[in-house]
Amino acid sequence: MAGVEEIKAGIALANEKSQSGIAAINQASMQLDEARNALLNATQGSSQHDVAQAQNLLTEALQTLEGAQNAIQASISSAEGYASRL
């Protein structure tokens, strides 16, 4: 079994990678939000089902990314809690 310092280092690395993942999700969220706004501007006034569906799907994708960020942050918190008890 790994020593305490090795475990803490592994947790720190995992949390660092997780933070990078959150940053990537933030970037993706900004891009998707821009895409959604561009779609809204381009299709303003349209009552076509396809347009509404596309807008709703982008909104759903953004919500999914937010959920992923929250799960990753909770994982980081849990790992930090474990590391602090070592």
Residues 6+ apart with CB under 8 A from 19: 76
Task: Tell me the C-alpha distance between 23 and 26, whole Å.
Answer: 5
Q: What is the pLDDT of residues 16-41, one digit of tens each?
A: 999 999 999 999 999 999 999 999 99
CA distances from 10 to 24, 70, 76, 80 (A): 21, 21, 12, 11
Q: What is the pLDDT of residues 35-82, one digit of tens each?
A: 999 999 999 988 899 999 999 999 999 999 999 999 999 999 999 999
- Of 26, 15, 22, give the one whose Cα is nearest residue 77: 15
Q: Determine how many CB atoms are found less than 10 A away from the CB of residue 5.
A: 9
